[in-house]
Structures are given as structure tokens and as C-alpha cells.
């Protein structure tokens, strides 16, 4: 943002400077020179004035200037955003200077709801990042570029699958255990998402975190608002920019699965049988007959290649005063680490600003994207299908099964249904194209100087399509999988909005007023349709009409929601010193019943810029900025289903009487007829400061978010005696309190300049009450008995505390009676602690009633990151480190437990297992046993399995080189930068060997990827 504002001002100053030039004709001596910035780049548009005169000029596009001046004069070089320099001529005819960037922030403009505001005058908590931060990051989803970039904004990425690798964004903790606690994302004021947008189109991303900044979006702002502003056209000559990169990806972590002979040996131990004889094991080990005694690592066969990521982006920018345009086209291609798994996206955007009349401006934005995600799938008759269906088996099937024999035949697998190897080779596919088109227009009219009237209209169209063909396949001469199925869907969404705004601004004698009023209406209509056929005669004809007709299925439905709002904001500043703001929004939503439709969301904020006080200016000149601020407000959340209160009989409860199906419907869900808005009361106290002319800055914010009337679906808090599911109801309260720290430092020494930003966020998430689910557990905890308890964080694990394993029979006898959990304990079984009993003290009996407790949460308590950037002559370097701590994770089922449901075993389980012959009290893995899909006494949830998911990641390293201007000028290029970047380069963690700490799974997953890229940025 800052850079763009600079460029804008640069161009404006060119115009003003032109006026100077007219009056500067009568000087005495010609002086010329070049003005560069601290990176050595030419600075066009710098004003050069002879001190005490009106003589002056501006630098040209190459940063050069020439003027006539007295030989003993002093030249003053000034430029917005840079520190002015006074340079005595001392008789020289050539005066070159380098301008330093001025302390950040003071003149920075940030995007706020329905407008912009100077950074210094913002009272709310708004974090903003600009294009530079996200440019050149090889991420497909914008969300992952935000990780660690803003205090209070947590992004957790759970998958690396191309097209489906978006991170989950949470602003200041997890605000609700009911309605989805996700931020409202607005792209140029229109609700949108992070995934389809081209990161190169973005000018700024602004996150509104507190009540005063977000309340203008009332009903949907409780969990933060993310404002994405796309680039605008700029007056001036046409500028063309190209950005491109090519990168290679590999998993950050990869589990080490047992070889076939290790598996066989371990299986014999686990099953206490000689299922695999020594002779057979030897055949596996020697690999002399791999067709009959194979060693197949199905996971490696699945994640078999390096990913490749390519991005090309071209934008054209320019225009006259009356008409400015920004046109961009982007292409992203992301090849996953599985064959036939890729994601492609084309983006097109045109932003136009037209001055229709002196007082009338029309901004038109047209944007569209075409995405397509492809993945392989299983053959029919497998559930789950798709890539997940392949992976969940790839980390399960032991290496003793044949993938593909030397003669090309595929192994039948343990179920005669093939293996990941054969499925990957099948003709099946799963493709999911998404088409989006959006247009919005904004008409701004300034009938009088202080009044701005705007009308905004927007229309977005989304078409989600899917086509899933599961092929028939000949595995080998004796085994053919005959069934082929095709499933296809088309879901369309039409979103419309209409907004009217009026803003009146008045400034008199130090008093500044800004009053905003508005009306907004939004409506979305969804239409879904899908069909399925089986028995396709050939894998070459995979259109619906070619399928068998006797077993076809067709479904369809509609859904719609609407929201209508009026809102207002009043801002008052006195001498830029005392700041005050009040906001209110009144929302009506189709998701709430007649008497509960409307909600009102107010906020108040006040700020004091202490450094504007004269006494402080005198007393502490080193203090360049100090602002104290406080805000309060109530925000809403309605992120639930479209029809939460309408009491219905569920359709589709059909039953086959006779030979045909009879239509059926049944009471299946309890609905709360009095459901209303979920609300979050937010308090925010902050301090912003800068020292030594901005060399050092420190911001500290304390926030207190209290969510009540949580729109919770209390399924696990309601007895199954109710007999039906339960829909959202307003119950429960949750608190998120915490601190955000931002520490910045920037400086330069000679050609070397650097900029360091560190963020640290502490979030305390705590459940206050569950309403209906407040069950007084006999152990004294109050909660739903599974994952929500008063006084504990959400997303928690509730289970036993362990104390290693039983060493021997004596150990079992001496230990508390554990038969209620482990009816027949043997050495190597997990030893659970007897922590309480009916009298509140250990009762000698380990049971579910008294001995389970809080053993962790998936919500990170501490988030931290460090952004380092440095420049030296033509080189630039950035390092970005990010981490979380105070967080737990769990790997269970196929990837946590050996021999789970016919699954394999991992190396760490082999190495760390309890060995009866050399027992240790605290082995990494208990005794080996065969685990069914309903678990064993050792797999009940206990802290034995809870992992420390803290990590520190080298999220991104980037080294850039700017080709010197001298070389570029000849080819008429303004700027050419080459860079190397490494994303997710390395992670420090104590998580499970072979697993990325952000992965929480039972089997189906896609590794988080590390990407190494080479890129080019060109501007001409």
C-alpha cells in the first residue's frame, strides 16, 4: 500500500512540479544530479527546491534533475514518504543524493469498512499488509500467504492438496463452538473468498479485528473482517508488469512405513502367531521373487513425484485523469505430488475508474476465474473414493501386497479390489471445475464538496461442477473389476447486492467530522443438481448418457438466504489529537424467525495521540508517535445453515415396499423456533508507539472477546433419548482474551538497509457455559462429557492421563484397578492414572466417570512470527519465520496405531514398541497388538497419543536481485528482478516422526509441501 501511495504521490508531484518549472527559468548556475532511494533505485518525481526561493524542479523518470541555482545555495530534496534532505551546493554542478524512507506508518492509509483512513487516525485494531508481502509467495490460496503476517490472525493449513490447501483463518482465537467462527471476507466490498483471487491483483489486505473497526459490518463481523482491495488503474503512462515463477514441491515430512519383511515379523509378534514363517519372511527380505513376495510402499507409490508449481501474471495499468484502468490476467498451475493430480486457475480482472462528470465517478470492476482441480480416484465400490480413498489405503495396506508384477499384472490387494497402484493406473478421474464471474459498479457523486453519495451494485455468479468417473479395470487375467460409475453435479450460486452510502465530512477550526450512513441488501440463490449412473460399457465413453439406465439416480434442490442492513458511523477528531468514533448496524437475516430477524450491533471507540500534545513534543523528542486507544462493541455472527428454525420433516427417508421405493419423510431434527443472532462483545485497549524517528516501533493490544448466545448444535450435549438430531440453538458462551505485540525496527547503514517485524500473539480460549450441555459430571467437570467443558479451551481432548505402560504382572497387580478400561491388562498395556473418585480423591479404580480430564486442545495458545527483510545494493533478502506453541495434535487410526484395521506399521512404532523381553516403563509405543476399527483398551483417548503440535517454521526465504538500471534502460525496462524462494523450508517440532505438525488425521491426508521456486518480476 505504502509503495503504491508513494507512486501515486510521485505522479501528483510531477504535475505540481511542472508548475514550478515555469517559474524557475531565471537561475544562475546549472546543477544536475540523480536522486535514488536507499536500494539504489531511481526516484522519479522528487521535488528539488532551492532553499528560500521558489526555484525548483522535479526528477524525471530516471531520477535525474537539472536546474539553475546560486552556487552557494542549498538544495532541498523532498518526496512523500521519504525524509527530506537539505544539501548545500558548494559550487558543485553535480549533486547526487540518496533519500531514506521516512518512519513508517504516519502517512499510511489503511482500508477500513466503507472507506479508508490515515493510519494515525485509526482507533480500531486494523492490521494491513500490502502487495509486497504476498507477491512472489508460491501459494495457490491467498490464505496461506497470510500465515504469521498479522498479529492476532491465525492460519492453520491442514492439507497440501492442490486447490484444496487453503488455510483456516481465525482472527483472535476461535470465537464460537457453534456458528462457524470464520472472518467475513470482502473483495472490494463484496463478499468473496480467498481461493479464487489472484494474489497479484491485490493491493492491500486489511483485517478488522476489533469491534469499532468491524461493527460497520455488524451481523457477520464477530470473527473479524478481511478487506481485500484490488489494484486500481493509475494516471500516467502505460505500465506493464509481468510476474512469473516456477517451483518444485516436496512433502515437508514423509512417514517411514515398514517393509514387507518388517511388517511380517511385527505381525507375528502382534498376533502372537507364526502367520509368516521364517522362510516366507526371508523371501520378503531377499526380494528375489518380488512378484510373489513383494515389498510395496503404497504411500510412496501414491505420493510418487515432485510437485510443480508455475505462475504467470501480466497486468497493464495506466490511464488519464478521467479514465484509469487496471487489467490483469493470471495463470497458475499446480501439479500435485500424485500422478494426475493438479489444479489450474485462470484469472482475469478489469478495474476501471471513470470520471463521468466533475462530481461523478464510476468505478467498475469485472473479474472472473476458471479453476479446475483434477485428481485420480479409486475403482468403483470403494469408500471413500477420490484421492482421499487412495491415500487412506496407501498408508494402510502393508508392503506385503503386490502393486504391479513384472509382467504388468496388478495385485488384487487384500480385498480383490485392487490397490492404490492399480487405482492410480485406472482410467477413472475426478475433476472439479469452478467458474466464477463477478461484476460490480460503484457510482460516487459529490453534489457538494463535503458530501459523497455512493451507490454500489454487485452480481457474482459461481458454478461448481464435479465429475467423478470410477472406471472398470482389468487387474489381471483372472480378476476384472467390472463396475464403472459416473457421478456428476452442477451447483450454481447467484449472489446479488445493492448498497447505498452517504458520507458527509466537515472540518472547521480543528474539529473534524465524518458521518456515514448506508443501506445494504444481499441475497444468494443456490441451485444444486446431481446424477449418477452405473455400468458404463467402456472407459472411453464417460458421459452420462452412456451409462446403464436401470440404476440411475438424480437429485436436486434450491437454497436461498438474504440479509438486509442499515448502518451508520460517526467520526470526530479534534486537532488530530483526540479521536472518537461511534458505529451502529442494524441487520435483518432470513436465517432467523419472524420476531428475531433483526439485530443491532453498536460500537464506540476513543483514541488519544499523546505525541500531538505540545508538552510531550518538547519533553520527549525521541518519541515519534504514541497513541492510546480503546474500543467497545457488540458484533454478530450468523454463519449457520440457511434454515435453522423452520420445523420440518426431512425428506428422502424412503423405504422400499414391494418392488419400488416409497417416498418417506420423518421428524429428524429438533429446531429452536426462537433462534437469534450469536453476539460477541469485544473490548480492545491498545497502544501504538514509534521511537527515534520511526526506527523502532512497538504496538501492544489487549483484547477481550466474549461471545454469547452461541449458535451451537449441541448434538453431543443432548441425550440420544431425544431421538432426533438437534439444530442450532442459542446456548453457551465463550471467551477469547489475549495480547498482541508488534515490534518493528528499521534502519540503514550505507547501502545496507533492513527491516524487522516481529509479532507475538497470546490467545486464551475458554468456554464459559454450554447452556443445555452443562452436565455436572461426577468428576466435577461441567460439560458435555466429550469435548466441551466449562473453564477449558474448545477443540479439546478429553481422556485419560497415562503413566507409561505396565512392565510386568506385578506392576498390573499393584496398580489401581484398571479393568473398567482394560479388562485384561497384560505387560505393555498403557497404564492409566487413577486421578479421582466419588470422594474427589483417587479411589483405586480407573474408570471413565472419574479419571478422564482435559489433556490438550487444537487451538494454539501462542502464535509468533518474525519477518526479516534486508537490502544491499541490488540484492534483497527476506526471511520469514512462523510458529505456534501451546497446542496439541493427534494422529490416530491408520496413521497412529499399528495394525489398525489390517493396517501396516511405521518405523517409529517398530523401534519404539514395548518389548516384553526388554521392558521399559515409558516406551514410545505400547505392546504390539491387532487393533480393530473399534479400537482396543490401549487406543482409548489418552495423553499417551496426544502430541505436542508446537512448531517453528522457516516459512519463506527469498533472495532477490534487481538488475542495475543502467543495463535495463537500453531495453526500456523499468525494473527487472530475479529471485529464488523457498516456502516451508524447514520445520522444527517434536511432532510424530514423519508427520507435519499441522496434520491431524486418522489416515486420509495430503502432505504439507515445501516449495522451491525461481521467479522473475519485470516492469516496463
Partner 1 sequence: MIEMKTYMDLKKILTYLFLVIVLSGGVSCTDKLDQSPSDQFDKAKFWTNESNAMIGLTGVYRGNISYGTNVNPPDWWTYTGLILLEHATDNAFDRRGKNAAQNRLTNGTLLADNSVVESYWRGSYIRVAIANDFLENIGRVSMDAAKIKRMTAEVRFIRACQYFYLSQFWGAVPLVTKSLTPEEANVVTKAPKSEVINFVIKEFTEAAADLPRFKDIPAKESGRVSKQAALAFLGRIYLAEKKYADASQAYKQIIDLGDNIIDSDYSSIFNTVNETSSENIFSVQYSPVLAGNALTQHALPANKGGWHLVNPLESLAFEYDFTDGTPFSYKDPRFNPLNMAANRDPRFAATFLYDGCVFGGKVYDCNPDNNASVDQLTYSKQATRTGYGLRKFFDENFSGDLSTGYGGNIPIIRYAEVLLSYLEAELEGGKPISQSLLDITINKTRGRTSVKMPPVTVTDATALRPILRKERRVELALEGIRYWDLLRWGILGDVMQGDFWGASFPKSVKTGSKVDPTGNKRWYVDTKAFVKGVDEVWPIPQSETNINPGLLSK
Instruction: State the residue for C-alpha cell 488530530.
Output: 576
Of the residues 615, 658, 918, 966, which one makes contact with partner 1 according to CB under 8 A: 658
Interface pattern 381-400 for partner 1 (x via CB under 8 A): x-x-----------------
Q: Could you tell me the end-to-end alpha-carbon distance of the chain, in angstroms, rounded to an integer?
A: 20
- Our CB check for partner 1 shows the closer of 614 and 719 to be 719
What is the footprint of partner 1 within residues 785-804 (CB under 8 A)? 785-786
Of the residues 11, 668, 737, 1019, which one makes contact with partner 1 according to CB under 8 A: 668
What is the footprint of partner 1 within residues 58-87 (CB under 8 A)? none
- Does position 610 interact with partner 1 (CB under 8 A)? The reply is no
Of the residues 333, 596, 600, 777, which one makes contact with partner 1 according to CB under 8 A: 777
Measured distance CA(782)–CA(791) in Å, rounded: 9
Instruction: State the residue for C-alpha cell 452405473.
Output: 534
CB of 281 to partner 1, least distance (A): 13
Among candidate residues 125, 149, 268, 145, the one with its CA nearest the CA of residue 686 = 125
CB of 374 to partner 1, least distance (A): 24
Of the residues 772, 807, 868, 870, which one makes contact with partner 1 according to CB under 8 A: 772
- Does position 187 interact with partner 1 (CB under 8 A)? The reply is no
Of the residues 616, 700, 848, 968, which one makes contact with partner 1 according to CB under 8 A: 848
The helix or strand, by DSSP H or E, that contains position 134, with its residue range, turns out to be: helix 131-134
DSSP state of 239: E
Of the candidate spans 140-148, 177-185, 368-376, 415-423, the one that interacts with partner 1 by CB under 8 A turns out to be 415-423
- Does position 743 interact with partner 1 (CB under 8 A)? The reply is no
- Does position 531 interact with partner 1 (CB under 8 A)? The reply is no
- Does position 266 interact with partner 1 (CB under 8 A)? The reply is no
Q: State yes or no: cis peptide before 783, omega within 30 of 0.
A: no
Torsion angle, alpha carbons of 6, 8, 13, 19, to 10: 180
Conformational region of residue 221, where left means phi above 0, alpha means psi within -120 to 50, and beta covers everything else: alpha
Strands 168-171 and 578-589: unpaired
Of the residues 239, 359, 874, 907, which one makes contact with partner 1 according to CB under 8 A: 359
Helix axes of 260-271 and 278-286: crossing angle, nearest 10 degrees: 160
Of the candidate spans 229-237, 249-257, 599-607, 933-941, the one that interacts with partner 1 by CB under 8 A turns out to be 933-941
- Our CB check for partner 1 shows the closer of 409 and 689 to be 409
CB of 802 to partner 1, least distance (A): 17
What is the footprint of partner 1 within residues 632-651 (CB under 8 A)? 642-643, 646-651
380: helix, coil or strand? coil
Measured distance CA(564)–CA(434) in Å, rounded: 28
CB of 901 to partner 1, least distance (A): 7
What is the footprint of partner 1 within residues 812-841 (CB under 8 A)? 820-821, 823-824
Residue 107 burial class via C-beta count within 10 angstroms: exposed 0-12, middle 13-18, buried 19 and up: middle
Per this entry, what is the length of the chain?
1020
- Our CB check for partner 1 shows the closer of 582 and 940 to be 940
Return the half-sphere exposure (C-beta side, CA atoms, 13 A cut-off) of residue 303.
26
Of the residues 68, 250, 271, 689, which one makes contact with partner 1 according to CB under 8 A: 271
Interface pattern 937-966 for partner 1 (x via CB under 8 A): x--x--------------------------
How far, in Å, are 40, 202, 310 from residue 877 at the CA level? 15, 22, 22
- Does position 16 interact with partner 1 (CB under 8 A)? The reply is no
CB of 606 to partner 1, least distance (A): 35
Interface pattern 873-902 for partner 1 (x via CB under 8 A): ----------------------------xx
Mapping DSSP onto H, E and C, the string for 469-522 reads EECCEEEECCEEECCCEEEEEEEEEEEEEEEEEEEEEEEECCEEEEEEEEEEEE
- Does position 122 interact with partner 1 (CB under 8 A)? The reply is no
- Our CB check for partner 1 shows the closer of 291 and 576 to be 291
What is the footprint of partner 1 within residues 553-572 (CB under 8 A)? 553, 557-564
Nearest 5°: phi and psi at 634? Answer: -125, 130
How far, in Å, are 354, 801, 855 from residue 363 at the CA level? 6, 61, 54
- Does position 250 interact with partner 1 (CB under 8 A)? The reply is no
Count residues near partner 1 (CB under 8 A): 123
Of the residues 275, 286, 813, 921, which one makes contact with partner 1 according to CB under 8 A: 275
Contact present, 997 and 860 (Cβ < 8 Å) = no
The residues pairing with 180 across neighbouring beta strands, listed in sequence order, are none
What is the footprint of partner 1 within residues 481-520 (CB under 8 A)? 481-483, 485, 496-498
What is the footprint of partner 1 within residues 576-595 (CB under 8 A)? 588-591
CB of 494 to partner 1, least distance (A): 8
468: helix, coil or strand? strand
- Our CB check for partner 1 shows the closer of 492 and 716 to be 716
- Does position 289 interact with partner 1 (CB under 8 A)? The reply is no
CB of 204 to partner 1, least distance (A): 25
Instruction: State the residue for C-alpha cell 518538547.
Output: 618
CB of 462 to partner 1, least distance (A): 15
357: helix, coil or strand? strand
Of the candidate spans 52-60, 210-218, 929-937, 961-969, the one that interacts with partner 1 by CB under 8 A turns out to be 929-937
How far, in Å, are 266, 785, 907, 938 from residue 935 at the CA level? 19, 19, 21, 8
Nearest 5°: phi and psi at 818? Answer: -110, 15
Contact present, 203 and 124 (Cβ < 8 Å) = no
Residue 728 grid coordinates: 442450532
CB of 729 to partner 1, least distance (A): 8
Among candidate residues 222, 170, 179, 177, the one with its CA nearest the CA of residue 789 = 177
Of the residues 103, 176, 252, 534, which one makes contact with partner 1 according to CB under 8 A: 534
- Does position 936 interact with partner 1 (CB under 8 A)? The reply is yes
Spacing of C-alpha 826 from chain mean position: 46
Of the residues 665, 841, 920, 967, which one makes contact with partner 1 according to CB under 8 A: 665
Contact present, 327 and 230 (Cβ < 8 Å) = no
Contact present, 223 and 170 (Cβ < 8 Å) = yes
- Does position 907 interact with partner 1 (CB under 8 A)? The reply is no
The residues pairing with 310 across neighbouring beta strands, listed in sequence order, are 246, 333
CB of 129 to partner 1, least distance (A): 31
- Our CB check for partner 1 shows the closer of 360 and 980 to be 360
- Our CB check for partner 1 shows the closer of 72 and 651 to be 651
- Our CB check for partner 1 shows the closer of 435 and 552 to be 552
Of the residues 25, 545, 657, 814, which one makes contact with partner 1 according to CB under 8 A: 657
Instruction: State the residue for C-alpha cell 521399559.
Output: 920
Asked whether the CA dihedral 401, 403, 406, 409 is positive or negative, the reply is positive
Asked whether the CA dihedral 398, 401, 405, 411 is positive or negative, the reply is negative
What is the footprint of partner 1 within residues 425-464 (CB under 8 A)? 439-443, 445, 455-459
- Our CB check for partner 1 shows the closer of 652 and 844 to be 652
- Does position 700 interact with partner 1 (CB under 8 A)? The reply is no
Residue 759, number of CB atoms within 10 A of its CB: 23
- Does position 285 interact with partner 1 (CB under 8 A)? The reply is no
- Our CB check for partner 1 shows the closer of 3 and 653 to be 653
CB of 441 to partner 1, least distance (A): 5
Amino acid at each position: 500500500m505504502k509503495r503504491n501511495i508513494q507512486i501515486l504521490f510521485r505522479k501528483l508531484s510531477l504535475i505540481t512540479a511542472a508548475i514550478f518549472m515555469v517559474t524557475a527559468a531565471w537561475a544562475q548556475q546549472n546543477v544536475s544530479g540523480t536522486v535514488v532511494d536507499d536500494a539504489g533505485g531511481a526516484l522519479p518525481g522528487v521535488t528539488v527546491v532551492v532553499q528560500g526561493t521558489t526555484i525548483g524542479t522535479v526528477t524525471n523518470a530516471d531520477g535525474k534533475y537539472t536546474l539553475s541555482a546560486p552556487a552557494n545555495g542549498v538544495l532541498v530534496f523532498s518526496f512523500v514518504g521519504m525524509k527530506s534532505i537539505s544539501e548545500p551546493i558548494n559550487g558543485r554542478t553535480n549533486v547526487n543524493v540518496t533519500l531514506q524512507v521516512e518512519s513508517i506508518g504516519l502517512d499510511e492509509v489503511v482500508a477500513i469498512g466503507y472507506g479508508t483512513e490515515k493510519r494515525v487516525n485509526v482507533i480500531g485494531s486494523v492490521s494491513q499488509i500490502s502487495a509486497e508481502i504476498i507477491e512472489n509467495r508460491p501459494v495457490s490460496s491467498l490464505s496461506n500467504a497470510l500465515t504469521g503476517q498479522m498479529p492476532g490472525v491465525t492460519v492453520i493449513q491442514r492439507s497440501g492438496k492442490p486447490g484444496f490447501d487453503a488455510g483456516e483463518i481465525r482472527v483472535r482465537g476461535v470465537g464460537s463452538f457453534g456458528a462457524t467462527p470464520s472472518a467475513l471476507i470482502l473483495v472490494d466490498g463484496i463478499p468473496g473468498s480467498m481461493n479464487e483471487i489472484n494474489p497479484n491483483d491485490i493491493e492491500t489486505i486489511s483485517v478488522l479485528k476489533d469491534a469499532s473497526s468491524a461493527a460497520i459490518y455488524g451481523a457477520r463481523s464477530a470473527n473479524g473482517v478481511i478487506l481485500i482491495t484490488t489494484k486500481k488503474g493509475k494516471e500516467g503512462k502505460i505500465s506493464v508488469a509481468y510476474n512469473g515463477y516456477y517451483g518444485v514441491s516436496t512433502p515437508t515430512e514423509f512417514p517411514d512405513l515398514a517393509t514387507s519383511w518388517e511388517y511380517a515379523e511385527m505381525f507375528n509378534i502382534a498376533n502372537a502367531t507364526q502367520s509368516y514363517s521364517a522362510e516366507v519372511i526371508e523371501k520378503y527380505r531377499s526380494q528375489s521373487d518380488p512378484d510373489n513376495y513383494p515389498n510395496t510402499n503404497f504411500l510412496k507409490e501414491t505420493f510418487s513425484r515432485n510437485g510443480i508449481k508455475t505462475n504467470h501474471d501480466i497486468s497493464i495499468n495506466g490511464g488519464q485523469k478521467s479514465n484509469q484502468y487496471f487489467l490483469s490476467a493470471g495463470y497458475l498451475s499446480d501439479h500435485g505430488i500424485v500422478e494426475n493430480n493438479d489444479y489450474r486457475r485462470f484469472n482475469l480482472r478489469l478495474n476501471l475508474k471513470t470520471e463521468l462528470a466533475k462530481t461523478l465517478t464510476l468505478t467498475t470492476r469485472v473479474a472472473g476465474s476458471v479453476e479446475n482441480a483434477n485428481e485420480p480416484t479409486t475403482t468403483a465400490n470403494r469408500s471413500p473414493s477420490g484421492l482421499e480413498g487412495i491415500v487412506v489405503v496407501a498408508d494402510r495396506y502393508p508392503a506385503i501386497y503386490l502393486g504391479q508384477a513384472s509382467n504388468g499384472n496388478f495385485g488384487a490387494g487384500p480385498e480383490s479390489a485392487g490397490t492404490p497402484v492399480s487405482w492410480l493406473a485406472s482410467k477413472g478421474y475426478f475433476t472439479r471445475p469452478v467458474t466464477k464471474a463477478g461484476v460490480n459498479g460503484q457510482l460516487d457523486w459529490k453534489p457538494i464538496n463535503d458530501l459523497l453519495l455512493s451507490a454500489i451494485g454487485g452480481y457474482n455468479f459461481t458454478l461448481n461442477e464435479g465429475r467423478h468417473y470410477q472406471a472398470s479395470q482389468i487387474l489381471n487375467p483372472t480378476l476384472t473389476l467390472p463396475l464403472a460409475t459416473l457421478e456428476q453435479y452442477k451447483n450454481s450460486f447467484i449472489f446479488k447486492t445493492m448498497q447505498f452510502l452517504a458520507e458527509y465530512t466537515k472540518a472547521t477550526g480543528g474539529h473534524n467530522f465524518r458521518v456515514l450512513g448506508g443501506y445494504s441488501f444481499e441475497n444468494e440463490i443456490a441451485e444444486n443438481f446431481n446424477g449418477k449412473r452405473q455400468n458404463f460399457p467402456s472407459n472411453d465413453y464417460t458421459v452420462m448418457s452412456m451409462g446403464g439406465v436401470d440404476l440411475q439416480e438424480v437429485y436436486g434442490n434450491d437454497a436461498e438466504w438474504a440479509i438486509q442492513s442499515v448502518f451508520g458511523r460517526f467520526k470526530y477528531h479534534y486537532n488530530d489529537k483526540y479521536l472518537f468514533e461511534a458505529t451502529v448496524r442494524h441487520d435483518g437475516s432470513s436465517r432467523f424467525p419472524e420476531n428475531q430477524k433483526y439485530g443491532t450491533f453498536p460500537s464506540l471507540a476513543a483514541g488519544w495521540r499523546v505525541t500531538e500534545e505540545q508538552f510531550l513534543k518538547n519533553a520527549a523528542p525521541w518519541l515519534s508517535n504514541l497513541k492510546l486507544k480503546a474500543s467497545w462493541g457488540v458484533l454478530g455472527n450468523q454463519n449457520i445453515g440457511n434454515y435453522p428454525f423452520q420445523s420440518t420433516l426431512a425428506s428422502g427417508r424412503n423405504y422400499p415396499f414391494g418392488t419400488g421405493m416409497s417416498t418417506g419423510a420423518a421428524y429428524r431434527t429438533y429446531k429452536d423456533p426462537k433462534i437469534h443472532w450469536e453476539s460477541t462483545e469485544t473490548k480492545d485497549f491498545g497502544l501504538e508507539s514509534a521511537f527515534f524517528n520511526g526506527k523502532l516501533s512497538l504496538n501492544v493490544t489487549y483484547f477481550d472477546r466474549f461471545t454469547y448466545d452461541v449458535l451451537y448444535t449441541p448434538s453431543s450435549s443432548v441425550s440420544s433419548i431425544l431421538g432426533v438430531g438437534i439444530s442450532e440453538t442459542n446456548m453457551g458462551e465463550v471467551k477469547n482474551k489475549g495480547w498482541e505485540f508488534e515490534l518493528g525496527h528499521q534502519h540503514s547503514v550505507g547501502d545496507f538497509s533492513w527491516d524487522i517485524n516481529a509479532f507475538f500473539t497470546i490467545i486464551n480460549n475458554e468456554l464459559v457455559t454450554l447452556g443445555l450441555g452443562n452436565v455436572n459430571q461426577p468428576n466435577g467437570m461441567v460439560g458435555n462429557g466429550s469435548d466441551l467443558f466449562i473453564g477449558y479451551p474448545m477443540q479439546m481432548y478429553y481422556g485419560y492421563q497415562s503413566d507409561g505402560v505396565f512392565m510386568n504382572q506385578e506392576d498390573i497387580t499393584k496398580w489401581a484397578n484398571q479393568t473398567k478400561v482394560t479388562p485384561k491388562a497384560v505387560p505393555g498395556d498403557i497404564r492409566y492414572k487413577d486421578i479421582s473418585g466419588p470422594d474427589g480423591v483417587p479411589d483405586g479404580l480407573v474408570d471413565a466417570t472419574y479419571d478422564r480430564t482435559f489433556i490438550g486442545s487444537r487451538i494454539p495458545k501462542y502464535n509468533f512470527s518474525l519477518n526479516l527483510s534486508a537490502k544491499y545494493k541490488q540484492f534483497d533478502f527476506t526471511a520469514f519465520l512462523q510458529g505456534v506453541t501451546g497446542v496439541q495434535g493427534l494422529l490416530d487410526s491408520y496413521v497412529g496405531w499399528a495394525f489398525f484395521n489390517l493396517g501396516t506399521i511405521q518405523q517409529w512404532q517398530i523401534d519404539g514398541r514395548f518389548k516384553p523381553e526388554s521392558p521399559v516403563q515409558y516406551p514410545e509405543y505400547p505392546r504390539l497388538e491387532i487393533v480393530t476399527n473399534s479400537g482396543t483398551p490401549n487406543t482409548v483417548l489418552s495423553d499417551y497419543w496426544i502430541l505436542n503440535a508446537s512448531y517453528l517454521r522457516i516459512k519463506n526465504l527469498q533472495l532477490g536481485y534487481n538488475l542495475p538500471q543502467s543495463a535495463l534502460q537500453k531495453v526500456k525496462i523499468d525494473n527487472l528482478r530475479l529471485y529464488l524462494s523457498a516456502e516451508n523450508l524447514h520445520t522444527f517440532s517434536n511432532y510424530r516422526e514423519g508427520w507435519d505438525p499441522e496434520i491431524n488425521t486418522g489416515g486420509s491426508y495430503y502432505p504439507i509441501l515445501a516449495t522451491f521456486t525461481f521467479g522473475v518480476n519485470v516492469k516496463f
